[in-house]
């Protein structure tokens, strides 16, 4: 569910609350919502309790909060993946005055930051998301590991993913060289987080519509101009969505204050099967590709 614009909205929302915040207490309500190298929620709790968070960083759909260099926590981060339905919610009340945890609340943290006591909940209906306490590794290229930090390091579980779709130092030519490898259709390549990180099912369909490319066109056959159009379409769609706080269809995606995003109004392909294409008027088609429902205009996105 949450793709790059939604995760970035969450990151920006968390940032002011978690920079310099001390984790005073932790409660894990569902053991499988936390991971640790050696396992066990007790160990997770012991690991993060007493740590000081140093801001919020994102690469692709992965989020993390580095732990400030300080005795046991040096070189570690509290990382998170929202999966299909994860969310962070900030309550500006201390632990004992915060609302009863929601039935989907998997982990609750109490934070102390510049004199204010906060309660930070991690909710996740479908439980594909998780929190993780893990070691930071240096990035292979020495470049900053993620959006929101200058540090050239990423959590171990993030090390395998590709460049962030909004990485300002990434250029269309480099991206298309990465995409062209292999035999799959371009949509499946866009969803492969090792080739480009941050795109999910909504924005893949949206970007392909804007670039007028058929989702099943072999990635290896993309012309240079088509790859360039796609690269820019990915960025402009993601930037527009971010400016509107992301796409919310229901309560499963909201920001840290519980507010929805408004990009659903601007979707031109995703979820519009049977409706008229906004460019040519043909009916938008929907079909399953690689196990994901895929929407495109059969007239202006031709396979070549």
Range in contact with DNA (rule: CB under 7 A) among 46-54, 80-88, 108-116, 135-143: 80-88
> How many residues of this chain interact with DNA, rule: CB under 7 A?
40
Establish if 83 lies at the interface with DNA (CB under 7 A).
yes
Establish if 84 lies at the interface with DNA (CB under 7 A).
yes
Tokens (6 digits) for 160: 């395998």
Establish if 105 lies at the interface with DNA (CB under 7 A).
no
- For residue 70, what is the DSSP state? -
- Toward DNA, which CB reaches closer, 25 or 127? 127
Give me the torsion for CA of 202, 122, 257, 255, rounded to 10°.
-10
Establish if 104 lies at the interface with DNA (CB under 7 A).
yes
- Toward DNA, which CB reaches closer, 85 or 149? 85
Establish if 29 lies at the interface with DNA (CB under 7 A).
no
Establish if 145 lies at the interface with DNA (CB under 7 A).
no
Establish if 214 lies at the interface with DNA (CB under 7 A).
no
Binding mask 176-195 for DNA (x = CB under 7 A): -----xxxx---x--xxx--
Respond yes or no: is residue 292 known to be catalytic.
yes
- Strand pairing category for 34-36 and 153-155: unpaired
- Toward DNA, which CB reaches closer, 41 or 118? 41
* Sole binder of DNA in the list 119, 217, 247, 285 (CB under 7 A): 247
Residue in 61, 106, 187, 229 annotated catalytic = 61
Establish if 252 lies at the interface with DNA (CB under 7 A).
yes
* In the complex, minimum distance from the CB of residue 19 to DNA, in angstroms, rounded to a whole number: 25
User: DSSP string covering 244-261, please?
Assistant: TT-B-SSTTS--TTSPPP
- Strand pairing category for 34-36 and 130-138: parallel
* Distances, alpha carbon 100 to alpha carbons 7, 58, 104, in Å: 25, 29, 11
| Integer Cα distance of 247 and 253 in angstroms | 8
**E-assigned strands of the chain?**
19-28, 34-36, 52-54, 57-59, 62-66, 76-81, 86-91, 105-113, 116-124, 130-138, 153-155, 285-289, 292-296
Establish if 240 lies at the interface with DNA (CB under 7 A).
no
Respond yes or no: is residue 3 known to be catalytic.
yes
* In the complex, minimum distance from the CB of residue 203 to DNA, in angstroms, rounded to a whole number: 8
* Sole binder of DNA in the list 64, 170, 253, 296 (CB under 7 A): 253
- Strand pairing category for 86-91 and 105-113: unpaired
Residues annotated as catalytic are 2-3, 61, 292
């Amino acid at each position: 569910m949450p793709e790059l614009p939604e995760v970035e909205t969450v990151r920006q929302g968390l940032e002011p609350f978690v920079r310099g915040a001390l984790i005073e207490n932790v409660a894990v309500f569902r053991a499988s919502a936390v991971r640790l190298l050696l396992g066990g929620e007790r160990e997770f709790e012991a690991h993060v309790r007493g740590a000081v968070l140093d801001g919020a960083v994102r690469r692709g759909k992965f989020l993390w909060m580095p732990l400030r260099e300080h005795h046991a926590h040096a070189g570690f981060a509290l990382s998170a993946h929202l999966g299909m339905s994860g969310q962070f919610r900030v309550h500006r009340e201390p632990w004992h005055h915060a609302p009863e945890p929601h039935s989907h609340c998997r982990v609750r943290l109490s934070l102390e930051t510049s004199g204010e006591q906060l309660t930070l909940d991690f909710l996740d209906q479908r439980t594909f998301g998780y929190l993780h306490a893990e070691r930071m590794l240096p990035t292979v290229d020495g470049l900053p590991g993620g959006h929101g930090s200058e540090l050239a390091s990423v959590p171990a579980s993030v090390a395998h993913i590709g460049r962030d779709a909004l990485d300002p130092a990434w250029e269309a030519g480099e991206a298309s060289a990465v995409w062209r490898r292999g035999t799959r259709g371009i949509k499946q390549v866009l969803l492969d987080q090792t080739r480009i990180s941050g795109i999910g099912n909504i924005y893949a369909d949206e970007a392909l519509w804007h670039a007028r490319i058929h989702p099943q066109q072999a990635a290896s056959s993309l012309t240079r101009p088509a790859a360039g159009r796609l690269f820019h379409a990915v960025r402009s769609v993601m930037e527009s969505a971010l400016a509107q706080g992301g796409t919310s269809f229901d309560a499963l995606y909201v920001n840290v204050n519980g507010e929805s995003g408004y990009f659903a109004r601007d979707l031109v392909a995703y979820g519009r099967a049977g409706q008229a294409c906004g460019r040519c008027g043909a009916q938008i088609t929907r079909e399953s590709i690689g196990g994901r429902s895929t929407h495109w205009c059969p007239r202006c996105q031709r396979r070549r």
